[in-house]
């Protein structure tokens, strides 16, 4: 086995959690992402970097290095790119709203960049870039905005994470691979080292 980091294309329906026993489940019918990896990876200490909720899919990174998990998860250390199918048609004022900040139960949440890639019937395909990432942030932001033409709140139909920092998703759903040395170096080169992270956040 080689590599410090691996990527997994998480499909919908899988929970991102690390149970004490890889063959145990939270509830009947629930599967964790470890069901998609070799069985020995659980005992070897591979852990997910960040989260994707059960209804979301896309790029998920794993590593065995605790300090590396912390550096990669620290908000603002790298951008994350998502493609999102939304029920509703977004106007320019909606895009500005996403950039300026949407008031949600978690407070004001913003996107770093957002663009409409296309529309199919009543649904819109959006590319959104986040620099941080709160729990279910994208879903919460759209749920707090209204499609004025239909007088309904927007709803996220599909959400896929396509990129983390310099690493782009390039495996099929349910598949995984190790990052190459060059990919790992590129991902980590712009991250602050652990001493800088501790100084800036007071954590770890």
Catalytic residues: 53
- Give the torsion through C-alpha atoms of 5, 11, 15, 20, to 10 deg: -50
Q: By the 8 A CB rule, do 157 and 123 touch?
A: yes
The β-bridge relationship of strands 152-153 and 146-147 is antiparallel
- Residue 163 phi/psi, 5-degree rounding, is -155, 140
Beta-strand (E) ranges in 55-188?
Answer: 57-63, 80-87, 102-104, 107-109, 113-120, 123-130, 146-147, 152-153, 155-164, 167-168, 176-178
Distance CA 166, CA 147 (A): 34
Q: By the 8 A CB rule, do 109 and 133 touch?
A: no
Place of tokens 């909720």: 53
Distance CA 167, CA 80 (A): 10
């Amino acid at each position: 086995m080689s590599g410090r980091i691996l990527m997994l294309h998480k499909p919908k329906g899988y929970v991102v959690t690390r149970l004490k026993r890889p063959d145990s489940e939270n509830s009947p019918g629930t599967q964790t992402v470890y069901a998609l990896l070799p069985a020995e990876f659980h005992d070897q200490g591979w852990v997910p970097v960040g989260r994707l909720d059960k209804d979301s899919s896309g790029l998920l990174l794993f590593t065995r290095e605790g300090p590396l998990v912390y550096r990669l998860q620290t908000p603002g250390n790298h951008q994350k790119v998502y493609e999102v199918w939304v029920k509703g048609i977004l106007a320019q004022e909606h895009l500005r709203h996403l950039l300026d900040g949407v008031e949600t139960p978690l407070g004001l949440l913003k996107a770093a960049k957002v663009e409409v890639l296309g529309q199919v019937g009543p649904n819109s395909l959006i590319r959104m870039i986040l620099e941080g990432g709160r729990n279910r942030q994208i879903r919460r932001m759209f749920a707090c905005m209204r499609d004025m033409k239909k007088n309904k709140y927007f709803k996220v139909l599909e959400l896929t994470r396509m990129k983390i920092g310099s690493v782009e998703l390039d495996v099929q759903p349910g598949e995984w691979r190790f990052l190459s040395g060059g990919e790992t170096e590129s991902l980590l080169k712009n991250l602050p080292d652990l001493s800088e992270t501790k100084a800036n956040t007071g954590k770890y």
